Every structure is written in structure tokens, then in C-alpha cells.
Amino acid sequence: MIGVEEAQALCLALIPGAPGVETVPLVQAAGRVLARSAATGRAQPPFASAAMDGYAVRDAELAIGARFTVVGESAAGHGWDGRLAPGQAVRIFTGAPVPEGADHVVIQEDVARDGDRITIQPNLGSGPNIRVAGVDFPAGFTLEAPRRLGPADLALLAAMNVAEVTVARRPRVALLATGDELVMPGEAPGPDQIIASNVFALKAMVDAAGGKGVILPIAPDREDALEAAMAEMAKADIAVTIGGASVGDYDLVGKVGTGLGMERAFYKIAMRPGKPLIAGRLGAVPYLGLPGNPVSAIVTGHLFLSPLVRRWQGLTEALPTRLLARLAQDVGPTGPRTHYMRAVLKDGVVTPFAEQDSSLLRVLSEANVLLERPLGDRPRKAGEEVPVLPL
């Protein structure tokens, strides 16, 4: 069995190359991955601008008790287009262009005004309260691709006067639950049946990673039906089956995949939960066969499927975030598989749940991190630093 890191590398290598792209207006670009770097011809601010409301003067003339004549006004959107002469001041407001000749904005709290005369008061601050042209970004600035566009990026692009951006297409991820025991929520289960659950988590994870999760009709444990459903999945950008990955007589996914010409990258990894994971290509499409146990499917989804969706969009940083936290309690040694324990992280301290069975959705829903216990690890004491993966 291969380790998690090696498996993740093999998995990411299944991605065909540069993503398909589309151009969208800025208002639709939140969360999308920038596929072409965006450049601007503008500087921001485009002119030296006031950072405070007050009076623009010459710095060299500033002194407590100094007097100036107010000769004009510069407001945001309406500058004053004269040139400041000695002894003159211009009334100025935040965001307004600083007039030529001025190099200091005295805030109005530091000034006494009488008609068109101002006198500098003893509480004079240091200034200069001016934002130089291009201090935010210069003309020619480029926001580099690839990059997931967050709220601040959208504001930055807008300030750059970029109205539309070229982003990676959202990959269509086909999610196929398999098993005679499954019905969809809202249907009437037979006495030996349960409700298909993990596909809903996986769709949410795919969507959050920037893809479009598509839940297909449940495939029964019959070779012909599974073959038809899996062949259909090869039309998606990423194909995922859930369940039927293990060694039971009705675990048919590997066999049917092989019959369809699946090129296998690996089968089984040294992790718990999630050992019977399959990865490969169905036709040209990256394929994952996730184990059926709800927690196993969701944990392997977090470690393998979400990264695949991110890498498909061209992101180089595709793997889950890993942080360090202190153990709340002693934990024992690990066995031959890296254990991803469901746990709660609070104030930098991580507490694993006592119950770790891979069928327990209620425990998973209480967890906010996976506590990563590397295979073959020694016992760890309360207070030791350990890696955690936020969920």
C-alpha cells in the first residue's frame, strides 16, 4: 500500500493539463480561479490625494502660529486646478487631488479658521496626510494567474478598471453512488435499505472547491447497470464512484472499471479511514473510486477529490490546509495506516472524539478538523504539537 502523500501526487498527476477557460464579468467572478493574469494601465490613486479632511499647504511654511490664506477648494471628483503660491492654502477633502505646489495636508482639527484665513494651532500633527500617486498599485501592475478570486481580489480588479476576467471553467464532477442498499432521501427505503448520504457532502465539497457536482441516479450492484453508469460518467470532467471499492462479492467498481479500460494509478492506500481508494483514468477523465462508508468517502473526498477539483482549475496549491495544534490529551501509537481522527479544535487545542468508526456521520458533523496521526507514530502526550486539517 502506498502512503497518502504519494497517492495525492499520483492523483493530481491525473489532471490532463491546462484547464478550459471562459470570460466572465467581474460580478460573476467570486470564487473562480483566474486563468489569465490581469493587467492595468492605471495607477491607484492616479494622482496624489488627500488622506484627511483639512488644508493643503507647503510643508516648508508649516509652523505653529503660521497663517495662510484659503484660495480655493479641492473635493473628491473636483480638484482645484491652480498652483499653490507661498502663504496660500486650499481647503481639501479626503480623496481629493492635492493641488500642485502643496505637499502637506493639515487636518482641520489642527487649524483655526476665520473667514478665508487659517492659523496653525499648537496641536499640529506630523502629516503629510497625502497618498502619493500609485501607492496602492502602479500603472502596469498585474494580478498573476492562477489565483482563487476572493472578495478583496474583486475589489482590486475593479480598482484596476478590469470589467471582465478569464477564469478556469468549473469542472463538472459526476458523483455516482453504488449499492442495492441505497435509496435517495425522501424515498421509501425497504427493510434492508439505508439512505444515500455521502454524495451530498461530496457535492458540497466539489462545489466549494470550485467545481459543479452532479449527483447521478444510484447504480445497483449489477455489472451491466454499473458499466452503463460508469461509461456515462466518462463525459464529465472528473468521474467519482462511491462504494463497491472493497473486496466483497458485490464490490464491482474495480472490475467494471477495468472492463471499461480504466488506467489505474493506485488501489488501496495506507490511511484510515479510506483504505480501499481507487484512482485512475476512465478514458481521458480523472477517476476516483471512493470507499462507501460515509466518513471514509468524505475524508478521502477532503484529501483527494477536493484537491483534484482545485488542480483541474489550474491551482498549484491544491492540497488541504494543514495547521499545528496542541493535543488536549494523551494519544496512543498508530498502526500501519495514517489515521485521520475526527476531532474538535478550539483555541489551538485539539481533542479527538472517542468514537472513530467510519460509519459515524454524527461524530463527523461535530468535528471541525481531522487530527492527522502519521502511520507508525509513537504515543503522544497532552500538549505536544500535532498536525490538523480544518474541515
Ligand X SMILES: Nc1nc2c(c(=O)[nH]1)N[C@H]1C(S)=C(S)[C@@H](COP(=O)(O)OP(=O)(O)OC[C@H]3O[C@@H](n4cnc5c(N)ncnc54)[C@H](O)[C@@H]3O)O[C@H]1N2
Residues that bind ligand X (CB under 6 A): 177, 179, 181-182, 194, 196-199, 242-248, 251, 273, 275-276, 291-294, 296, 358
* Contacted entry of ligand MOO, ligand X, none for residue 147, CB cut-off 5 to 8 Å set by kind: none
Minimum Å gap between C-beta 309 and ligand X is 19
DSSP 236: S
Closest CB to ligand X: residue number: 292
Instruction: Say which residue the cell 459515524 belongs to.
Output: 360
Least distance from ligand X to the Cβ atom of residue 3, Å: 16
Residue (152 or 247) nearer to ligand X, CB: 247
302 binds ligand MOO (CB under 6 A): no
Distance CA 343, CA 366 (A): 8
Q: Which of 49, 129, 306, 358 binds ligand MOO (CB under 6 A)?
A: 358
Question: Number of C-alpha atoms within 13 angstroms, CB side, residue 379?
Answer: 6
| Sequence-ordered strand ranges (E) for 230-348 | 238-242, 263-267, 271-272, 278-282, 285-290, 323-327, 338-346
Q: Give 44 or 293: the residue with its C-beta nearer to ligand X.
A: 293
Q: Which is nearer to ligand MOO, 94 or 359 (CB)?
A: 359
Question: Rounded to whole angstroms, how far apart are CA atoms 50 and 106?
Answer: 10
Q: Least distance in Å: CB of 181 to ligand MOO?
A: 16
Q: How far is the CB of 222 from ligand MOO (least distance, A)?
A: 24
Residues 234-293 that bind ligand MOO (CB under 6 A): 272-275, 291, 293
The residue within the footprint of ligand MOO, chosen from 296, 306, 313, 351 (CB under 6 A), is 296
φ and ψ of 374, to 5 deg:
-60, 150
CB of 26 to ligand X, least distance (A): 38
Give which of ligand X, ligand MOO, none residue 251 binds (C-beta under 5 to 8 Å, depending on kind).
ligand X
CA–CA separation, 123 vs 112, rounded Å? 11
* Closer CB to ligand X, 182 or 230, in the complex: 182
Query: Could you give the C-alpha distances from 296 to 194, 211, 341, 356, 382, in angstroms and in order?
Result: 17, 21, 11, 11, 27
CA 74 distance to own-chain centroid: 42
Give the Å distances, CA to CA, from 264 to 225, 244, 285, 323: 21, 16, 12, 32
45 binds ligand MOO (CB under 6 A): no
Minimum distance from CB of 213 to ligand X (Å)?
A: 13
88 or 296: CB nearest ligand X:
296
- The two most distant CA atoms of the chain are separated, in Å, by 95
Joined together, the cell numbers standing for residue 338 give: 495514517
CA distances from 302 to 6, 8, 160, 249, 322 (A): 16, 11, 35, 28, 12
Q: Which is nearer to ligand MOO, 120 or 199 (CB)?
A: 199
Question: Smallest distance from the beta carbon of 242 to ligand X, in angstroms?
Answer: 5
Q: Which is nearer to ligand MOO, 29 or 371 (CB)?
A: 371
Contact 33, 210 (CB under 8 A): yes
Task: Output the smallest distance, CB 4 to ligand MOO, in A.
Answer: 12
Which entry of ligand X, ligand MOO, none binds 198, CB below 5 to 8 A by partner kind? ligand X
Class of residue 325 by CB neighbours under 10 A (exposed 0-12, middle 13-18, buried 19+): buried
Among ligand X, ligand MOO, none, partner that 199 touches (CB below 5 to 8 angstroms by kind): ligand X
Tell me whether residue 143 or residue 196 sits nearer to ligand X (CB atom). 196
Select 94 or 197, whichever has its Cβ closest to ligand X. 197
146 Cβ contact partners less than 8 Å away, ≥ 6 residues apart: 33, 34, 35, 168, 313, 314, 315, 316
Which H or E element spans position 25? strand 21-25
Q: Least separation, in Å, of the C-beta of 337 and ligand MOO? A: 8
| Per CB under 6 A, 91 contacts ligand MOO | no
Q: Which does 182 bind (CB under 5 to 8 A by kind): ligand MOO, ligand X, none?
A: ligand X
- Written as nine digits, the cell of 305 is 477529490
Residue 36, C-beta contacts closer than 8 angstroms, at least 6 positions apart? 21, 145, 165, 166
Binding site for ligand MOO (CB under 6 A): 272-275, 291, 293, 296, 358
